[in-house]
Amino acid sequence: MPRPTPLPQRPEASPWPRLARGIASGDAAALGDWYQLEWPAIFRLCFGLIADHAAAEDAAQDAMLRVSDRIDTWNKARPYLAWRTTVVLNLTRDHLRRHKTRQYHELRRQPTSTLSSVPDPADAAARGELQEAVESVLANLPEREREAFVLCDLEELSTEHAAAMQIKPASVRSILSLARRRLRGLLPAFVPESSLEGGA
Protein backbone atom coordinates (compact mmCIF):
# COMPACT_ATOMS: atom_id res chain seq x y z
CA MET A 1 0.00 0.00 0.00
CA PRO A 2 1.37 3.46 -0.78
CA ARG A 3 2.23 5.61 2.16
CA PRO A 4 -0.41 8.12 3.18
CA THR A 5 0.02 11.66 2.03
CA PRO A 6 1.44 13.88 4.72
CA LEU A 7 -0.56 16.75 6.14
CA PRO A 8 -0.04 19.96 4.18
CA GLN A 9 2.39 22.36 5.70
CA ARG A 10 0.84 25.13 7.72
CA PRO A 11 1.62 28.67 6.67
CA GLU A 12 3.94 30.51 8.96
CA ALA A 13 2.43 32.59 11.72
CA SER A 14 3.59 35.79 10.05
CA PRO A 15 0.72 36.26 7.57
CA TRP A 16 -1.98 36.26 10.25
CA PRO A 17 -1.49 39.75 11.74
CA ARG A 18 -1.30 41.26 8.25
CA LEU A 19 -4.39 39.39 7.07
CA ALA A 20 -6.26 40.19 10.27
CA ARG A 21 -5.56 43.90 9.83
CA GLY A 22 -6.65 43.72 6.20
CA ILE A 23 -9.89 41.90 6.97
CA ALA A 24 -10.72 44.26 9.83
CA SER A 25 -10.24 47.27 7.57
CA GLY A 26 -12.45 45.79 4.84
CA ASP A 27 -9.73 44.78 2.39
CA ALA A 28 -11.32 42.28 -0.02
CA ALA A 29 -7.94 40.97 -1.20
CA ALA A 30 -6.88 40.15 2.36
CA LEU A 31 -10.18 38.41 2.94
CA GLY A 32 -9.66 36.35 -0.23
CA ASP A 33 -6.13 35.37 0.78
CA TRP A 34 -7.32 34.45 4.23
CA TYR A 35 -10.10 32.27 2.79
CA GLN A 36 -7.64 30.51 0.51
CA LEU A 37 -5.35 29.74 3.43
CA GLU A 38 -7.92 28.87 6.04
CA TRP A 39 -10.74 27.08 4.24
CA PRO A 40 -9.05 23.64 4.01
CA ALA A 41 -7.74 23.82 7.57
CA ILE A 42 -11.03 24.98 9.08
CA PHE A 43 -12.96 22.40 7.09
CA ARG A 44 -10.67 19.60 8.34
CA LEU A 45 -11.00 20.88 11.87
CA CYS A 46 -14.79 20.88 11.62
CA PHE A 47 -14.73 17.45 10.00
CA GLY A 48 -12.63 16.07 12.82
CA LEU A 49 -14.84 17.59 15.49
CA ILE A 50 -18.21 16.81 13.93
CA ALA A 51 -17.30 13.54 12.15
CA ASP A 52 -19.75 14.16 9.33
CA HIS A 53 -18.62 15.47 5.97
CA ALA A 54 -21.79 17.32 4.97
CA ALA A 55 -22.39 18.77 8.42
CA ALA A 56 -18.74 19.78 8.60
CA GLU A 57 -19.07 21.75 5.37
CA ASP A 58 -21.99 23.74 6.80
CA ALA A 59 -20.17 24.28 10.06
CA ALA A 60 -16.97 25.30 8.26
CA GLN A 61 -18.85 27.97 6.28
CA ASP A 62 -20.32 29.32 9.51
CA ALA A 63 -16.91 29.16 11.12
CA MET A 64 -15.25 31.10 8.30
CA LEU A 65 -17.84 33.86 8.68
CA ARG A 66 -17.57 33.91 12.45
CA VAL A 67 -13.79 33.98 12.54
CA SER A 68 -13.58 36.70 9.89
CA ASP A 69 -16.23 38.75 11.70
CA ARG A 70 -14.38 38.53 15.00
CA ILE A 71 -10.84 38.69 13.76
CA ASP A 72 -10.45 42.23 15.09
CA THR A 73 -10.99 40.84 18.60
CA TRP A 74 -7.98 38.54 18.29
CA ASN A 75 -5.35 39.44 20.85
CA LYS A 76 -2.11 39.49 18.87
CA ALA A 77 -0.24 38.35 21.99
CA ARG A 78 -1.93 34.95 21.65
CA PRO A 79 -1.17 32.53 18.84
CA TYR A 80 -3.62 33.01 16.00
CA LEU A 81 -4.21 29.29 15.47
CA ALA A 82 -5.11 28.74 19.12
CA TRP A 83 -7.57 31.65 19.04
CA ARG A 84 -9.12 30.55 15.76
CA THR A 85 -9.38 26.95 16.95
CA THR A 86 -11.20 28.11 20.09
CA VAL A 87 -13.76 29.98 17.98
CA VAL A 88 -14.26 26.98 15.71
CA LEU A 89 -14.46 24.57 18.64
CA ASN A 90 -17.21 26.62 20.29
CA LEU A 91 -19.08 26.81 17.02
CA THR A 92 -18.90 23.05 16.41
CA ARG A 93 -20.08 22.43 19.96
CA ASP A 94 -23.11 24.61 19.29
CA HIS A 95 -23.60 22.81 16.01
CA LEU A 96 -23.50 19.40 17.65
CA ARG A 97 -25.87 20.53 20.37
CA ARG A 98 -28.32 21.89 17.83
CA HIS A 99 -28.33 18.98 15.47
CA LYS A 100 -27.99 16.23 18.04
CA THR A 101 -25.39 14.64 15.83
CA ARG A 102 -24.00 12.73 18.76
CA GLN A 103 -27.13 10.66 19.21
CA TYR A 104 -27.32 10.30 15.46
CA HIS A 105 -23.82 8.89 15.31
CA GLU A 106 -24.33 6.60 18.28
CA LEU A 107 -27.29 5.02 16.53
CA ARG A 108 -25.82 5.12 13.05
CA ARG A 109 -22.56 3.28 13.24
CA GLN A 110 -21.33 0.34 15.21
CA PRO A 111 -17.87 -1.09 14.71
CA THR A 112 -17.78 -3.81 12.11
CA SER A 113 -14.93 -5.70 10.61
CA THR A 114 -16.51 -6.24 7.21
CA LEU A 115 -14.84 -3.55 5.15
CA SER A 116 -14.36 -5.25 1.83
CA SER A 117 -11.45 -3.28 0.48
CA VAL A 118 -8.47 -1.56 1.92
CA PRO A 119 -9.01 2.19 2.08
CA ASP A 120 -5.99 3.88 0.68
CA PRO A 121 -5.55 7.53 1.69
CA ALA A 122 -3.58 8.19 -1.49
CA ASP A 123 -6.11 6.62 -3.80
CA ALA A 124 -8.86 8.94 -4.94
CA ALA A 125 -11.10 6.03 -5.91
CA ALA A 126 -11.20 4.80 -2.33
CA ARG A 127 -11.92 8.19 -0.85
CA GLY A 128 -15.57 7.49 -0.31
CA GLU A 129 -14.81 4.45 1.79
CA LEU A 130 -11.95 6.21 3.47
CA GLN A 131 -14.21 9.08 4.43
CA GLU A 132 -16.76 6.68 5.84
CA ALA A 133 -14.08 4.87 7.82
CA VAL A 134 -12.75 8.12 9.25
CA GLU A 135 -16.25 9.32 10.10
CA SER A 136 -17.01 6.01 11.79
CA VAL A 137 -13.86 6.05 13.89
CA LEU A 138 -14.30 9.67 14.93
CA ALA A 139 -18.00 9.21 15.63
CA ASN A 140 -17.24 6.37 17.99
CA LEU A 141 -14.93 8.51 20.09
CA PRO A 142 -16.69 10.33 22.95
CA GLU A 143 -16.96 14.05 22.27
CA ARG A 144 -14.28 15.13 24.76
CA GLU A 145 -11.82 12.54 23.50
CA ARG A 146 -12.52 13.47 19.91
CA GLU A 147 -11.83 17.12 20.74
CA ALA A 148 -8.59 16.24 22.50
CA PHE A 149 -7.46 14.04 19.61
CA VAL A 150 -8.34 16.59 16.94
CA LEU A 151 -6.81 19.55 18.75
CA CYS A 152 -3.64 17.87 19.96
CA ASP A 153 -2.90 15.22 17.35
CA LEU A 154 -4.39 16.69 14.20
CA GLU A 155 -4.07 20.41 14.87
CA GLU A 156 -0.87 19.83 16.83
CA LEU A 157 -1.82 22.33 19.49
CA SER A 158 -0.05 22.01 22.79
CA THR A 159 -2.13 20.78 25.70
CA GLU A 160 -1.94 24.31 27.14
CA HIS A 161 -3.53 25.72 24.00
CA ALA A 162 -5.93 22.83 23.86
CA ALA A 163 -7.23 24.15 27.15
CA ALA A 164 -9.79 25.83 24.89
CA MET A 165 -11.71 22.72 25.89
CA GLN A 166 -12.14 24.57 29.18
CA ILE A 167 -10.34 21.91 31.18
CA LYS A 168 -6.90 21.87 32.73
CA PRO A 169 -3.94 20.93 30.55
CA ALA A 170 -3.28 17.88 32.73
CA SER A 171 -6.84 16.73 32.09
CA VAL A 172 -6.37 17.32 28.38
CA ARG A 173 -3.35 15.02 28.52
CA SER A 174 -5.34 12.33 30.28
CA ILE A 175 -8.25 12.60 27.86
CA LEU A 176 -5.83 12.55 24.94
CA SER A 177 -4.24 9.40 26.26
CA LEU A 178 -7.66 7.77 26.55
CA ALA A 179 -8.57 8.92 23.07
CA ARG A 180 -5.43 7.41 21.55
CA ARG A 181 -5.99 4.15 23.35
CA ARG A 182 -9.59 4.01 22.18
CA LEU A 183 -8.56 4.97 18.66
CA ARG A 184 -6.05 2.15 18.58
CA GLY A 185 -8.83 -0.23 19.55
CA LEU A 186 -11.32 1.22 17.11
CA LEU A 187 -9.22 1.39 13.99
CA PRO A 188 -8.86 -2.35 13.38
CA ALA A 189 -12.66 -2.60 13.46
CA PHE A 190 -12.94 -0.25 10.52
CA VAL A 191 -9.65 -0.58 8.76
CA PRO A 192 -7.70 -3.78 7.99
CA GLU A 193 -4.55 -4.30 9.98
CA SER A 194 -2.40 -4.31 6.84
CA SER A 195 -3.54 -0.78 6.03
CA LEU A 196 -2.55 0.38 9.49
CA GLU A 197 0.87 -1.17 9.21
CA GLY A 198 1.40 0.50 5.87
CA GLY A 199 0.13 3.84 7.14
CA ALA A 200 2.46 3.94 10.09
Partner 1 sequence: MSSADHDPLDELRRAWKQLDAPANASERPALADALAAATRELTPAAPSTQDPQTQAAVSWMRAAIAATDIPPMPALPLPKRRANPWRVAALAATLAVAGFALARLQNSASTEPEKPIIARAPEPEPEPAPAVAAPPQGRPARVTDAGIEMRAGHVRLLLVHTPTETLNTR
Q: How far is the CB of 34 from partner 1 (least distance, A)?
A: 10
* CB 122, CB 2: distance < 8 Å: yes
Query: Following DSSP, what letter does each residue of 55-85 receive, concatenated?
Result: HHHHHHHHHHHHHHHHGGG--TTS-HHHHHH
Judged on CB neighbours under 10 Å (0-12, 13-18, 19+), 143 is middle
- Collapsing DSSP to helix, strand or coil, 25 comes out as coil
Name, in order, each residue with C-beta under 8 angstroms of 161's C-beta and a sequence gap of 6 or more: 79, 81, 82, 85, 151
Looking at 77-85, 100-108, 110-118, 175-183, which segment touches partner 1 (CB under 8 A)?
175-183
Looking at 11-19, 83-91, 98-106, 115-123, which segment touches partner 1 (CB under 8 A)?
115-123
For residues 2 to 21, the per-residue mask of contacts with partner 1, x marking binding by CB under 8 A and - elsewhere, is -xxxxxx-------------
* Among 49, 59, 87, 191, contact with partner 1 (rule: CB under 8 A): 191
Q: How far is the CB of 84 from partner 1 (least distance, A)?
A: 17
Residue with Cβ nearer partner 1 (164 or 176): 176
For residues 41 to 70, the per-residue mask of contacts with partner 1, x marking binding by CB under 8 A and - elsewhere, is --xx--xx----x---x--xx--xx--xx-
Maximum distance among all alpha carbons in the chain? 54
Q: Is the dihedral of CA 110, 113, 117, 122 positive or negative?
A: positive
Residues that bind partner 1 (CB under 8 A): 3-8, 23-28, 31-32, 35-36, 39-40, 43-44, 47-48, 53, 57, 60-61, 64-65, 68-69, 119, 121-122, 127, 130-131, 133-134, 137, 149, 153-154, 173-174, 176-177, 180-181, 183-184, 187, 191, 195-197, 199-200
